[in-house]
């Protein structure tokens, strides 16, 4: 059943008994071998409850009771809930009832008559999602009296010592029986107030500490109190942490007979112990090998000591490994070529070689200008022409000897080159390079960047010096950071100047974002840092998105501000049972960098709903119906599978509620039908939620009314009259009494029964007994009727009445308007309008006028075809319209007459007309007058 595929171990047909345990992978090659970290294989399972009838539990009213769950054998985290009588009616936890997630038992602090019924324990495995139900336990009341009051008795407590891992979520439970129902309070033994991250749930029976840190350790006390007394439980939270490396070793290449010294250090709580492995086998102190407390030393190395070594740090909460390679060298020396400018000899020789210098055939000895260093460096102070010549470096060890020769030229050239600099991404810079040399020498300049010659054609680099070798770098990018060498070539030598350019930019994206320790509202993230790009990372930002968000959003974290040397944080205030993606951004003094790759999608754990439906209301509907409506809970707040609603309602005066459940998560309406419901009866209504984890909260209680019956009475005294060609006024008498509610009145009107498209309706409130129907056709007979209405519909109506609208007003607007302005006095006249046979007779005219820069409109009526107005003294222009008045209403307006401000001072007589010919004659008249 077990086979290897590459480095993977594949186990088929898993067996709970045979395959459980710890596994390690061994990787090896010709150099050596190393062990992987340990992998633990465990099996999550949940067996069924034993099928048997549970005995009834008999208690007095007022007494406390504990109903035992009797959890079946299992492995993996479990969650508990209790069903009351039948699914989905879960026991709703409050100050009186509590379901322990530690024991699985149901605790009722003080039994009330409403608690009588059957109780079923529901256990779910958080890993397998398997769910089992116990047999029901009946809770009945004894008939021999009521329990008296007594002091609290704490039934749910936490251990004396609770170990808690760094960054984990710690949950403490405390619940007491008592009469009256005890009140739970929490405090720390040291008196320090709880930080804001601490949550208290289920009427303070549960204390939750997310992202546990060293500061959270210490004593915790739970106090249960009622008027009969109080009781206290106490325990201590102890901090532990898995080992983490703070010092590790590096690969080493040492010569034979040298000494190896490696030290590794890890922090953790409790303090880790150490072990050393060579090629996967444990090392013990012997002969040349000394192992003690994270230190490995080997004296007088031999070739057999080469291999792979691992330092192992372990405490009872975890184990970590770190590997390094030891190479043991012994070979013939060879010498690096001698530089013409710097006289350096650094042989790679194992064992270390002895060094000898010669100039020509003469040995070089140390004096006041010449220094010979053990590492092979020859230093010349106050160099002069006499120092020029051929220099040879000899290196010797027991494997042999090697040499190298080079020539030293001494000239007078000096180079003024670039200096080390820091610059921000996107800026431009000039690196200088100039030489003071003998003018007879030909000089050429070239530049190298990180060992590569800079050639023409690169868009960022440009030689701008002309006779000098200055280099401009435009729009610098991060990859332009590094070593720049200006090389000056002359006839006799080559000189150079070096500068290191540091390019600062926003940090590179963080990497390896991993989600760990997910709860229903938190997720712990870890990540690895990207490059800081020349400026230390000051802090990190975390963003998330879900199927319910638009784009990426910032999230709350613990710690609230994530410093640049922190690579883990706990995201808080998440919604339960929602699929989240996370990404991390780094920030430094330059700015915020690009986001990290997106984490794998992670769903938070499910939880009992904590959101109630909103906007609960209802009413209306058909006879014998109670219509209940609500705003559905959004999917992201449903907290788990099998989400639904519990609708509770009761008539005014009743004590018990009627409960109805619907399993449609998007439902927003429920209709209860019963012939016994009286019309327009008040009901108390509330709507709650539930899911597979249990029952959530109910909405606040509201009052709604059952469906009502349409009014049975008819309005009396209905009459109507035509107001104009487009309006009819309708009047009636209000209903003096009707057993049904009257919300208002409805007026229906139409031309005749053969034209249903002309039907119109107007509704008014119940305190109104008249309405003007507008938008009608002129000279047309309309039929009308009036009825009362409410939410059930309209009542009966009287036989129809009919009214004929008046003739329409004249279609011709006033023409040939003339005006004359003297000072502020304006005189107007126009040609009288004569109505046609099918139009209403003209009874007068209406002038509408306003100032150009004002919205207020004034009106003036006259029975003649002339009018006078007194205008204000300011310089604003006036706009005037003239319309006919008639029984049919207002006729069309004349063209606008504009009175310009300069006219007030010139007293010019002008006339306006819609006739082009009249306008032409008017212009002649004005010219003649001038």
23-46 pLDDT per residue, tens: 999 999 988 999 999 999 999 999
Quick check: is 899 in a domain? Answer: yes
pLDDT higher for 606 or 404? 606
pLDDT at 463: 83
Whether 393 and 386 have beta carbons less than 8 Å apart is answered as no
pLDDT of residue 96 exceeding 90, the answer is: yes
| Average pLDDT estimate for 789-796 | 91
Whether 67 and 57 have beta carbons less than 8 Å apart is answered as yes
Going by pLDDT thresholds of 50, 70 and 90, the confidence category of residue 665 is: very high
Quick check: is 166 in a domain? Answer: yes
Quick check: is 135 in a domain? Answer: yes
Residues 132, 185 within the same domain? no
Q: Which domain holds residue 102?
A: 44-147
Residue 714: Cβ-neighbour burial (10 angstroms; 0-12, 13-18, 19+): middle
Q: What is the DSSP letter of 480?
A: G
State the average pLDDT for the chain.
88
pLDDT of residue 99 exceeding 60, the answer is: yes
Residues 581, 622 within the same domain? no
The domain boundary, picked from 362, 388, 408, lies at 408
Going by pLDDT thresholds of 50, 70 and 90, the confidence category of residue 438 is: low
Q: Which two tokens stand for residue 54?
A: 């549970």
Going by pLDDT thresholds of 50, 70 and 90, the confidence category of residue 441 is: low
Whether 686 and 765 have beta carbons less than 8 Å apart is answered as no
Least Cα distance to 674 among 683, 661, 687 occurs for: 683
Is the bond leading into 88 cis (omega within 30 degrees of zero)? yes
- Strand (E) or helix (H) holding 514: strand 511-516
Residues in CB range of 714: below 8 A, 6 or more apart: 735, 787, 788, 795, 796, 797, 798
Least confident of 241-255, 324-338, 651-665, 803-817: 324-338
Quick check: is 435 in a domain? Answer: yes
pLDDT of residue 458 exceeding 90, the answer is: no
Residues 730, 828 within the same domain? no
| Average pLDDT estimate for 115-132 | 93
pLDDT higher for 682 or 451? 682
Share above pLDDT 90 across residues of the chain, in percent, rounded to a whole number: 66
802-814 pLDDT per residue, tens: 999 999 999 999 9
Going by pLDDT thresholds of 50, 70 and 90, the confidence category of residue 515 is: very high
CATH classification at residue 749:
2.60.40.10
Least Cα distance to 821 among 895, 878, 903 occurs for: 903
Quick check: is 901 in a domain? Answer: yes
287-336 pLDDT per residue, tens: 899 999 999 999 999 888 999 999 999 998 899 999 999 988 754 333 33
In whole angstroms, what is the distance from residue 229 CA to residue 221 CA? 16
| Average pLDDT estimate for 752-774 | 88
pLDDT at 491: 66
Residues 772, 857 within the same domain? no
**Cα-trace Rg, the chain:** 48
Q: Which residues lie across from 117 on neighbouring strands?
A: 139
In whole angstroms, what is the distance from residue 542 CA to residue 573 CA? 13
328-384 pLDDT per residue, tens: 875 433 333 333 347 777 776 767 788 889 988 888 888 888 888 877 788 888 777
Q: What is the DSSP letter of 656?
A: S
Residue 399: Cβ-neighbour burial (10 angstroms; 0-12, 13-18, 19+): middle
pLDDT at 324: 95
How many domains would you assign to the chain? 9
pLDDT of residue 920 exceeding 50, the answer is: no
Residues 756, 732 within the same domain? yes
In whole angstroms, what is the distance from residue 751 CA to residue 749 CA? 7
Gap between the terminal Cα atoms of the chain: 120
Helix (H, G, I), strand (E, B), or coil: what is residue 478? helix
pLDDT at 736: 84
In whole angstroms, what is the distance from residue 40 CA to residue 75 CA? 14
Quick check: is 39 in a domain? Answer: no
The pair phi, psi for residue 461, each rounded to 5°, is -105, 140
In whole angstroms, what is the distance from residue 356 CA to residue 393 CA? 6
Residues 322, 355 within the same domain? no
pLDDT of residue 768 exceeding 90, the answer is: yes
Residues 261, 360 within the same domain? no
In whole angstroms, what is the distance from residue 66 CA to residue 71 CA? 15
Residue 756 to residues 638, 722, 747, 794: CA-CA distances in angstroms? 50, 21, 15, 19
Cα 444 to the center of its chain, rounded Å: 60
Residues 76, 188 within the same domain? no
**CB environment 875-906: b (16+ within 10 A), e (fewer):** eebbebbbbbbbbbbebeebeebebeeebbee
Quick check: is 925 in a domain? Answer: yes
Helix (H, G, I), strand (E, B), or coil: what is residue 756? helix
pLDDT of residue 3 exceeding 60, the answer is: yes
Share above pLDDT 70 across residues of the chain, in percent, rounded to a whole number: 93
The domain boundary, picked from 774, 805, 836, lies at 805
Residue 638 to residues 37, 607, 610, 615, 697: CA-CA distances in angstroms? 40, 9, 8, 17, 12
pLDDT of residue 930 exceeding 90, the answer is: no
The domain boundary, picked from 773, 805, 837, lies at 805
Residues 355, 307 within the same domain? no
Please tell me whether the overall predicted TM-score, pTM, comes out greater than 0.85 for this model: no
DSSP string, 869-904: EEPPSSS--EEEEEEEEETTEE-PPPPPEEE-TTHH
C-beta contacts of 98-105 below 8 A and 24+ residues apart:
98/156, 98/175, 98/202, 98/203, 98/205, 99/694, 100/156, 100/173, 100/175, 101/171, 101/173, 102/156, 102/173, 103/69, 103/156, 104/69, 104/70, 104/71, 104/78, 104/80, 105/66, 105/67, 105/68, 105/69
Whether 369 and 381 have beta carbons less than 8 Å apart is answered as yes
| Average pLDDT estimate for 677-701 | 94
Residue 440 region, left (φ>0) first, then alpha (ψ -120 to 50), else beta?
alpha
Give the largest Cα separation in the chain, rounded: 141
In whole angstroms, what is the distance from residue 824 CA to residue 297 CA? 114
Whether 847 and 896 have beta carbons less than 8 Å apart is answered as no
The Cβ of residue 584 has, within 10 Å, a number of other Cβ atoms equal to: 28
pLDDT at 856: 87
Residues 322, 392 within the same domain? no
Residue 198: Cβ-neighbour burial (10 angstroms; 0-12, 13-18, 19+): middle
Residues 827, 925 within the same domain? yes
Residues 835, 922 within the same domain? yes
Quick check: is 817 in a domain? Answer: yes
582-623 pLDDT per residue, tens: 999 999 999 999 999 999 999 999 999 999 999 999 999 998
In whole angstroms, what is the distance from residue 544 CA to residue 595 CA? 11
């Amino acid at each position: 059943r077990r086979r290897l595929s590459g480095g993977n171990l594949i186990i088929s047909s898993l067996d709970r008994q045979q395959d459980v345990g710890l596994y390690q992978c061994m990787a090896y090659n010709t150099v050596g071998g190393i062990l992987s970290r340990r992998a633990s294989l465990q099996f999550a399972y949940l067996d069924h409850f034993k099928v048997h009838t549970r005995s009834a539990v008999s208690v007095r009213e007022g007494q406390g009771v504990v109903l035992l769950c009797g959890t079946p054998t299992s492995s993996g985290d479990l969650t508990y809930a209790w069903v009351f009588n039948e699914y989905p009616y879960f026991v709703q936890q409050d100050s009186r009832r509590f379901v322990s997630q530690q024991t699985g038992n149901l605790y009722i602090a003080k039994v009330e008559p409403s608690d009588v019924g059957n109780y079923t324990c529901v256990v779910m495995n958080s890993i397998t999602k398997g769910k089992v139900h116990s047999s029901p336990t009946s809770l009945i009341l004894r008939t021999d009296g009521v329990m008296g009051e007594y002091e609290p008795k704490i039934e749910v407590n936490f251990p004396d010592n609770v170990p808690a891992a760094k960054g984990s979520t710690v949950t403490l439970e405390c619940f007491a029986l008592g009469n009256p129902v005890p009140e739970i309070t929490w405090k720390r033994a040291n008196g320090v107030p709880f930080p804001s991250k601490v949550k208290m749930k289920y009427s303070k029976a549960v204390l939750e500490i997310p992202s546990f840190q060293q500061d959270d350790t210490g004593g915790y006390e739970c106090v249960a109190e009622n008027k009969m007394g109080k009781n206290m439980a106490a325990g201590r939270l102890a901090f532990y942490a898995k080992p983490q490396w703070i010092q590790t070793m590096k690969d080493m290449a040492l010569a034979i007979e040298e000494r190896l010294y490696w030290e590794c250090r890890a922090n953790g709580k409790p303090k880790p112990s150490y072990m050393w492995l060579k090629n996967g086998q444990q090392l013990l102190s012997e002969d040349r090998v000394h192992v003690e407390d994270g230190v490995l030393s080997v004296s007088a190395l031999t070739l057999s000591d080469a291999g792979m070594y691992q330092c192992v740090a372990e405490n009872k909460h975890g184990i970590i490994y770190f590997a390094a390679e030891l190479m043991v060298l012994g070979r013939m020396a060879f010498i690096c070529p001698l530089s013409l400018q710097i006289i350096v000899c650094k042989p790679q020789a194992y064992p270390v070689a002895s060094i000898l210098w010669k100039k020509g055939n003469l040995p070089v000895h140390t004096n006041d200008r010449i220094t010979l260093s053990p590492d092979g460096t020859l230093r010349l102070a106050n160099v002069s022409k006499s120092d020029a010549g051929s220099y040879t470096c000899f290196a010797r060890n027991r494997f042999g000897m090697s040499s190298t020769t080079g020539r030293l030229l001494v000239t007078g050239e000096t180079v003024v080159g670039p200096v080390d600099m820091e610059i921000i991404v996107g800026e431009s810079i000039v690196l200088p390079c100039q030489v003071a040399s003998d003018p007879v020498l030909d000089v050429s300049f070239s530049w190298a960047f990180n060992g590569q010659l800079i050639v023409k054609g690169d868009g960022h680099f440009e030689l701008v010096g002309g006779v000098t070798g200055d280099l401009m770098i435009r729009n610098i990018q991060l990859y332009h950071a590094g070593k720049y060498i200006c090389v000056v070539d002359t006839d006799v030598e080559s000189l150079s100047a070096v500068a290191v350019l540091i390019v600062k930019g926003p940090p590179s994206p963080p990497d390896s974002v991993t989600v760990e320790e997910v709860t229903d509202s938190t997720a712990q993230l870890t990540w690895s840092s990207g490059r800081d790009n020349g400026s230390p990372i000051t802090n990190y930002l975390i963003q998330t998105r879900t199927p319910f968000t638009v784009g990426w959003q910032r999230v709350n974290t613990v710690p609230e501000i994530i410093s640049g040397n922190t690579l883990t944080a706990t995201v808080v205030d998440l919604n339960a049972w929602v699929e989240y993606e996370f990404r991390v951004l780094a920030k430094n003094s330059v700015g915020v960098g690009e986001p990290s790759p997106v984490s794998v999608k992670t769903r938070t754990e499910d939880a009992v709903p904590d959101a109630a439906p909103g906007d609960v209301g209802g009413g209306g509907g058909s006879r014998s119906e109670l219509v209940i409506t609500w705003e559905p809970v959004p999917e992201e707040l449903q907290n788990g599978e099998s989400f639904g609603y519990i609708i509770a309602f009761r008539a005014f005066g009743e004590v018990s509620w009627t409960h109805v459940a619907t399993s449609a998560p998007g439902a927003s309406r429920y209709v209860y039908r019963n012939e016994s419901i009286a019309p327009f009866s008040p009901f108390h209504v509330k709507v709650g939620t539930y899911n597979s984890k249990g029952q959530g909260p109910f909405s606040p209680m509201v009052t709604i009314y059952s469906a009502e019956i349409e009014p049975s009475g008819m309005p009396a005294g209905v009459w109507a009259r035509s107001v104009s060609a487009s309006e009819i006024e309708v009047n009636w008498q209000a209903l003096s009494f009707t057993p049904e509610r009257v919300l208002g009145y409805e007026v229906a009107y139409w031309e005749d029964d053969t034209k249903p498209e002309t039907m119109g309706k107007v509704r008014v409130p119940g305190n109104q007994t008249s309405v003007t129907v507008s938008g009608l056709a002129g000279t047309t007979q309309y039929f009308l009727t009036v009825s009362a209405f409410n939410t059930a519909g309209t009542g009966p109506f009287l036989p129809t009445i009919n009214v004929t609208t008046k003739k329409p007003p004249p279609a011709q607007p006033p023409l040939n308007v003339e005006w004359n302005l003297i000072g502020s006095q304006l005189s107007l006249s126009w040609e009288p309008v004569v109505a046609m046979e099918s139009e209403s007779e003209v009874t007068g005219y209406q002038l509408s006028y306003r100032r150009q820069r004002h919205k207020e409109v004034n009106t003036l009526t006259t029975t003649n075809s002339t009018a006078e107005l007194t205008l204000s003294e300011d310089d604003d222009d006036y706009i005037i319209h003239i319309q006919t008045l008639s029984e049919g209403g207002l006729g069309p307006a004349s063209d606008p007459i504009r009175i310009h401000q300069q006219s007030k001072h010139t007293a010019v007589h002008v006339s306006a007309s819609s006739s082009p010919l009249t306008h032409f004659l008017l212009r002649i008249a004005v010219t003649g007058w001038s």
